[in-house]
């Protein structure tokens, strides 16, 4: 259906005839594709979504906030006592930073300027910032300096935020530098945990992808086993907060 939309087909009846399915099935599938951001609905049909554009962090923190808070609370339970963790940039990882406040004896290596500032005055936490170029929309650090710092550490758990996630291809980001820093963080961790609300469990038009090591963990509010079983089939440890 997406391929047809990209080639100019848009009407419900035309899509149904070409695909050999009912109009009601087309409408249901278009509703799903619209919900995950893959298309834009129009009167009587739809069109393929425009190229991916990352939202500003100030906007993202207000989107799906209850889901992100629940994901962060569950993720905080995965941190062993005395652990060294990597904390990514982004709105869900920002929620996780709030759950770390007041913890004792952990070290947080982060590429997030916001998380570093927030946690710096928590007396029981040692905060280390990777360095690097600041990504405008996420306030995350990227590039050779970030990669250099990550390469000097081995962390117990790496918590990654995402713009999209795929069971086989890993995590999607708006640029290759941001994808690369996530790949490096995952490679330098004993356990990789991806924090993704249900709206992120689709590829959409996100351009840059970072593969993840086998056996990574997904923490999400998605409850549909049709979706989650795709991850389980790839060996992903799924934790649903729903």
pLDDT digits over 60-73, tens only? 555 688 999 999 99
25 plus 130 within the same structural domain: no
| Residue 188: other Cβ atoms inside 10 A | 18
Which residue do the tokens 């070290």 mark? 107
**3-state SS of 115-168?**
HHHHHCCCCCEEEEECCCEECCCCCEEECHHHHHHHCCCCECEEEEECCEEECC
138 plus 185 within the same structural domain: yes
CATH number for the domain spanning 67: value is 3.40.50.1360
204 plus 140 within the same structural domain: yes
Average pLDDT, integer, range 177-191: 97
233 plus 208 within the same structural domain: yes
Note down the domain range covering 159. 57-240
86 plus 190 within the same structural domain: yes
37 plus 139 within the same structural domain: no
Q: Would you state the structure tokens that stand for residue 14, as one six-digit string? A: 């035309």
99 plus 189 within the same structural domain: yes
Domain count, the chain: 2
Predicted pLDDT of residue 132: 96
Summarised one tens digit per residue, pLDDT across range 90-149 is: 999 999 999 999 999 999 999 999 999 999 999 999 999 999 999 988 899 999 999 999
Strand-pairing partners, residue 40, are: 47
131 plus 233 within the same structural domain: yes
84 plus 126 within the same structural domain: yes
């Amino acid at each position: 259906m997406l391929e047809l939309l990209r080639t100019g087909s848009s009407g419900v009846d035309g899509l149904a005839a070409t695909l050999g399915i009912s109009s009601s099935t087309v409408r249901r599938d278009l509703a799903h594709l619209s919900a995950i951001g893959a298309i834009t609905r129009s009167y009587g049909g739809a069109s393929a979504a425009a190229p991916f554009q990352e939202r500003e962090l100030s906007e993202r923190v207000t989107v799906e906030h209850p889901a992100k808070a629940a994901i962060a609370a569950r993720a905080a339970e995965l941190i062993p006592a005395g652990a060294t963790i990597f904390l990514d940039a982004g709105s869900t990882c920002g929620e996780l930073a709030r759950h770390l406040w007041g913890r004792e004896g952990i070290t947080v290596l982060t590429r997030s300027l916001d998380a570093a500032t927030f946690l710096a005055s928590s007396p029981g936490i040692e905060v280390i910032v990777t360095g690097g170029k600041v990504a405008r929309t996420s306030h995350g650090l990227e590039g050779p300096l970030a990669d250099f710092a990550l390469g000097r550490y081995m962390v117990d758990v790496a918590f990654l935020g995402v713009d999209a996630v795929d069971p086989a291809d890993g995590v999607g980001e708006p640029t290759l530098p941001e994808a690369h820093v996530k790949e490096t963080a995952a490679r330098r961790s004993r356990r990789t945990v991806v924090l993704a609300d249900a709206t992120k469990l689709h590829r959409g038009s996100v351009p840059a992808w970072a593969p993840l090591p086998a056996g990574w963990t997904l923490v999400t509010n998605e409850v549909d086993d049709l979706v989650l079983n795709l991850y389980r089939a790839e060996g992903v440890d799924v934790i649903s907060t729903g």
